[in-house]
Amino acid sequence: MKEGSKPKRVRESSFGWLVNALARRADARMREELAELGLDLSSFATLMTLFEREGIAQAELSAAVGVQSSATTRTLDKMEREGLVERRANPKSRRAHQVFLTEKGRAFRGDLIAIIARVNQEALQHLSASNRKQLVKWLQEIELASRDE
């Protein structure tokens, strides 16, 4: 929507609709970029989480990624077959497993960070640098506040 123009539909003034529309576009761009590396969004989310918290329990990984444990199990099964991660028995619990990156998995870090930067740049290219920072700050505040609800 061009500056100064009015929304044609009520939903175009809705925070929820706008966030979802932008998220769908960003997801589509991420899928395109990730496909070139042979990855999908589930593997991406798992890798990004493990870059920050390698060795976490599989249950913690599910919570951090925001998916059910069965979805994490399927993603990890696939990623293990591809040689990106390995599950190891947790020495403190016979039933739990910890998830670790392999060297092949670690090698994706730079590529994934570059993809994030590219997709973000494309999405926010029409904003000034200061407006980008402000938008991200506001979204962080909204996301953090919504965790408590």
- Whether 112 and 140 map to the same domain: the answer is yes
% pLDDT > 90, the chain: 77
pLDDT tens for 37-51 read 999 999 999 999 999
Last residue of a domain, one of 64, 87, 102: 102
How far apart (Å, rounded) are the C-alpha atoms in residues 66 and 1? 32
Structure tokens at 88: 């190891």
Contact residues for 25 (Cβ-Cβ < 8 A; gap 6+): 123
Structural domain containing residue 120? 11-38+108-149
Which residue, chain included where needed, has tokens 């962080």? 140
With H, G, I as helix, E, B as strand and everything else as coil, classify residue 95: strand
Same domain, 88 and 53: yes
Please determine, for residue 2, whether its predicted confidence score (pLDDT) is greater than 70: no
pLDDT band with cut points at 50, 70 and 90 for residue 7: low
Structural domain tally of the chain? 2
Residue 81's CATH number: 1.10.10.10
